[in-house]
Amino acid sequence: MILGKLRDQLVALLVLLVIWFVAASVVNSSLLPGPQEVADSMYTEWNQGRLLENLLVTLQRVAISFTCAMLLGGLMGVLMGRIKVVNRILDPFLIMLLNIPALVVIILLYIWFGLVEAAAVAAVIINKMPNVAVTLREGARMYDPELEEMAKAYKFSFKQKFFDLWWPQLFPYVMVATRSGLALIWKIVLVVELLGRSDGVGFQLHLAFQVFDVATILAYSFAFIAVVQMIEWFGLQPLEKYATRWQRGDQRD
Amino acid sequence: MIEFSIDGRSFDNKQVLSSINLSLEVGTSLCIVGPSGCGKTTLLNALSDLNGAKGSVTWKGNVPEVGYLFQQPRLLPWRTLKQNLMLVESDEAKVLTMLGAVNLIEYADYYPTRISLGMARRASLARCLLLNPDLVLMDEPLVSLDSPTAQQMRQLIRKLICDDAQKCLIYVTHDLDEALEIGDKIAVLGKSPSEIVFTADAETLSKDKLEQELRNQLGL
């Protein structure tokens, strides 16, 4: 079954490559380079060390801002989901944060704090945090009241409630926030880098944009997409599979 | 002797229970029957300090250790039976012994989603007994079970609770045969806001007499 899924995905990828190759051949312009030129550009950037170096810089920013956004947004969402008065107080701020354009937050923080790393990371966190809060607020509202009663009747400790009762119920929502978070955060990080940093994938895209070097733009983009896909395949999917084994056909642990 | 009084119980200014005083000899069982919605589950919840309704419970003497067997098993679906029980008792040997006592030892590593309702009820009974309670509360534990499975569960309740001279049982049911089979005493809870309107020893009570009492309460 896994081999069949892999085969289907490889076929889809191959079809896309063929379409791209044909389109690039027909257009025959440097503005739409073919797969070979993009691969050459990626190889050159890799050989010169720029691709790995900038990927790592961007990944570091993604990791820091993702972790902070998940923790802060998660805490905010769970508190809002569980405590009505907290929800009433924070809800207007949450709606405001959700509706502020990402670009406005980035520009304001750069103006107020300068083109520094802290402002860049903070801008990403502020952009992502409300999405996490909204998702986890829904999760916290969906706690099963019958299991809550059972935990009270059987005198669960706080640790037992957290790890055995609340966390498993929140986990699907955490996974949704994680997936959408990764997809959104790395895109915002690129904008932040493009506007105000002197390293990272976003900065390299900025340089390539100035000379209309589409092959390099695509090379960096695909490299980063590949990294995020690896995180999905080798990090998120196995984790989710393990955590939800009780929902599948597995009869036993 | 376990004695308690409940000083009424109300939700959102709607009184569900009036004042209730009950006492049980240690090692005996009391079955509570009554019309639907009369507050039987509310009474059990009050004794287990659940659901935040207004009204207090006063225990005479020492407060007993209470074990509550809910109507639904309420096992954590993401934990195996053994893991569920180990949340109450950390000694694995005791947990496995208890699972053996309810004939579930071979299902110790199964998830609750993969076993039948009858098995889940037995696991829930085992969890309740791991607390080593002085007072066991049961809220219609046989509902929705087929006849052989219910009979098996009844036998377990008799063996593990009713035959234990140290435990008291308060058992809520709609089934009068079940009440007369399990209870040493029977109490009838009247219409809401309810109070105990009738008590009798099960030995001296017939099903007809009990039915008559319930009809009187329902105004039939």
Residue A250 belongs to a domain: no
Distance CA(B55)–CA(B8), nearest Å, equals 5
Residue A139 pLDDT grade (very low, low, confident, very high; cuts 50, 70, 90): very high
Confirm or reject contact between A23 and chain B (CB < 8 A).
no
Report the complex ipTM: 0.87
The single residue listed with the structure tokens 């998702």 is A135
pLDDT above 70 as % of chain B:
96
Query: Could you tell me the two tokens for A137?
Result: 């607020």
Give start and end residues of each alpha helix (H) in B146-206.
Answer: 147-157, 176-182
Give chain A's domain count: 1
Mean pLDDT throughout B51-64? 76
Residue of B nearest to A167 (CA): B78
Separation in Å, CA of B51 to nearest CA in chain A: 7
Residue B1 pLDDT grade (very low, low, confident, very high; cuts 50, 70, 90): confident
Separation in Å, CA of A130 to nearest CA in chain B: 29
Mean pLDDT throughout B198-207? 83
CA of B27: how far to CAs of B21, B141, B161, in Å? 19, 20, 8
**E strands within B54-195?**
57-60, 66-69, 135-139, 168-172, 185-189
Query: Could you tell me the two tokens for A228?
Result: 């995020």
Mean pLDDT throughout B174-187? 88
Facing residues of B110 across strands? A252
What pLDDT was estimated at residue A243? 81
- Which of A60-69, B53-62, B203-212 has the highest mean predicted lDDT (pLDDT)? A60-69
Give tens-digit pLDDT for B140-167.
988 888 888 888 888 888 888 888 888 8
Query: Could you tell me the two tokens for A68?
Result: 């902070």
Residue A16 has pLDDT above 60, yes or no: yes
Q: Is the pTM of this model over 0.90?
A: no
Question: Which of A217, A213, A209 has its CA nearest to residue A54?
Answer: A217
Mean pLDDT throughout A214-237? 90
Residue A124 belongs to a domain: yes
Residue A184 belongs to a domain: yes
Domains of chain B by range and CATH? 1-65+136-148+162-220 (3.40.50.300)
Can you give the residue range of the structural domain that contains A186? Answer: 37-242
Confirm or reject contact between A153 and chain B (CB < 8 A).
yes
CB contact under 8 A, B76 and A147: yes
CATH number at residue A87: 1.10.3720.10
Residue B4 has pLDDT above 90, yes or no: no
Are B77 and B46 within 8 A, CB to CB? no
What pLDDT was estimated at residue A1? 60
Residue A221 belongs to a domain: yes
Question: Which of B179, B187, B106, B174 has its CA nearest to residue B143?
Answer: B174
Task: Please give the residue that has the higher pLDDT: either A124 or A249.
Answer: A124
Mean pLDDT throughout B102-130? 93
What pLDDT was estimated at residue B156? 87
Helix (H) or strand (E) holding A106: helix A102-113
Give tens-digit pLDDT for A75-103.
999 999 999 999 999 999 999 999 999 99
In the sheet that holds B196-201, the strands lie side by side as B66-69, B135-139, B168-172, B29-33, B185-189, B196-201
B159 half-sphere exposure, CB direction, 13 A CA radius: 13
Separation in Å, CA of A77 to nearest CA in chain B: 23
CB contact under 8 A, A152 and B80: no
What pLDDT was estimated at residue A245? 79
Distance CA(B87)–CA(B66), nearest Å, equals 16
CB contact under 8 A, B51 and A160: no
B90 half-sphere exposure, CB direction, 13 A CA radius: 3
**E strands within chain A?**
none
Residue A249 pLDDT grade (very low, low, confident, very high; cuts 50, 70, 90): low
Contact partners, residue A212, CB within 8 Å, separation at least 6 = A30, A31
Q: Which of B45, B49, B114 sits opposite A251 (nearest CB)?
A: B114
Confirm or reject contact between A147 and chain B (CB < 8 A).
yes
Are A227 and A55 within 8 A, CB to CB? yes
Chain B residues with CB-CB distance to A163 below 8 A: none
- Across chain B, mean pLDDT equals 87
What pLDDT was estimated at residue A232? 86
What pLDDT was estimated at residue B15? 77
Mean pLDDT throughout A209-219? 93
Are B131 and B65 within 8 A, CB to CB? yes
